[in-house]
Chain A
């Protein structure tokens, strides 16, 4: 081989960047850089966006000459470390389940125990999931390639996963997408789910403001600080697992792991495990989950029209989930003597505890002495339950139809 050939092979990565495929790679670097910027500069859910952004960089590095695959991804015969992580943690739904154990260990159901009526906001705020599911069924055939658009089973499966994005519940979205074998669409679905989750402080306030008056946002709600009885806190996760597992068996892995984490927290004899679940387990899985999701953002799978539509529909789902919760609260206020601050309804999504914090901040902006964090937290934890149940239901119903 002559010297120019050796140099050409040695610096093949550089020459690759000047090809049409290389241009797509550069676009992906810009997208990855934006995610990292949002994580570091804007502090939007940095624990997720930073690993996702970095994973996207690794997945889009110029391919190794012999294999034509980035070395971080590898080939089918010799998978790279990102592929190994994806197969080990996302493909088999392990990471979502582990994250839910950690989240369960972080959740205090006491506020919900004190005012259980807040649980219905966790149901109402799932409205966007089903509205988006319907909209996706209509719109997806227009952007999918002809052979995929003609496959109504695929459209329904994809619409299910897109709808779940609205719950702002990353693990459940991954769970649904995985169950329906949507690997090709995993990148936009997971990126939409996790980036919108982190953009709760940006997306929710304008929607809430558009649907409520200042007077409504200033409604105060009474709350008496006290902890729920221990026996109730211990029995709750067990009964919820049994009820959800019997009525919606498909929700059992997620609700079971969420409630298992919560039982560790509340039982009072496993403090060490509870702390591990809340800290070490949550941190470890978040790192691996983020970088594995980022690894799905390969240019040829990501820079497509259906990605744009999935991102747009995901945003629609998120907005309509927020709107569903707020409008449900306003509807309840027609009948209630003690009015509910309708912003509480928006906390019925699953982004815990960020959504509750956003609602409290908005309430404080209108009235510095208005404290509705506990009610918002109640709706927020109810949203965790609601989104998992919705995920299980949509899997069950769609699976029944596409059989």
Chain B
């Protein structure tokens, strides 16, 4: 398959969006863990 600049553009856009998506999931993970930690402290 002959790949061109447009294919590269797709990869770049999807790649950067993917990094943001996965790190957003990590962010949600930390927020959830913060809540668990806070609950543990209260108890």
Contacts and interface: CB of A to CB of B under 8 A. Distances in A.
A247 B23 CA distance: 11
Secondary structure at the A interface, as helix, strand, loop or mixed, is helix
Interface in A105-140: 112-113, 116-117, 119-120, 122-123, 126-127, 129-131, 133-134, 137-138
Secondary structure at the B interface, as helix, strand, loop or mixed, is helix
Interface stretch (A1-9, A57-65, A227-235, A266-274): A227-235
A137 B5 contact: yes
- A-B pairs, top 3 by smallest CB distance, nearest first, are A229-B37, A130-B12, A232-B33
A31 B1 CA distance: 39
A13 B12 CA distance: 48
A385 interface: yes
Interface in A229-248: 229, 231-232, 235-236, 239-240, 243-244, 247-248
Interface in B5-31: 5, 7-16, 18-27, 29-31
Contacts of A156: 3, 7-8, 11
A240 B26 contact: yes
B37 A401 contact: no
A397 B30 contact: no
A402 B11 CA distance: 12
Contacts of A137: 5, 8
A119 B12 contact: no
Contacts of A403: 1
A162 interface: no
Interface string A31-65: 00000000000000000000000000000000000
Interface in A369-403: 382, 385-386, 389-390, 393-394, 397-398, 401-403
A116 B27 CA distance: 6
Contacts of A394: 11, 15
Contact of A393 (B3, B18, B29, B34): B18
B25 to A, nearest CB: 5
